[in-house]
Amino acid sequence: MRRRNWRIVIVGIVLIIIALGFYFFMLSIAPKSNNPAGLMETVGQVAGVVCGVSIVMIIAGLIGKKT
């Protein structure tokens, strides 16, 4: 029997929400930048990495560990 780690799952979900919020916040600021395409490329990479890490955290938390 495996026990799920709900703390890791919740932190993963919160990280996804924060990454999406950061992306959309920077999307509203990008037109004021000197290089909006470069800015959004960097922001997209950062948000993608954070979402990827949080998805791994959610999967690991749902798999759990043996009791």
Indicate whether 2 pLDDT > 90.
no
Q: For residues 51 and 19, give the distance between their C-alpha atoms in angstroms, rounded to a whole number.
A: 7
Backbone angles phi, psi at 43, to 5 degrees: -65, -40
Q: What pTM, to 2 d.p., does this model score? A: 0.87
pLDDT at 49: 97
User: Using one digit for the tens of pLDDT, what is the confidence trace for 30-66?
Assistant: 999 999 999 999 999 999 999 999 999 999 999 988 8
pLDDT at 41: 96
List the domain boundaries for the chain.
2-66
User: Using one digit for the tens of pLDDT, what is the confidence trace for 9-21?
Assistant: 999 999 999 999 9
Indicate whether 5 pLDDT > 90.
yes
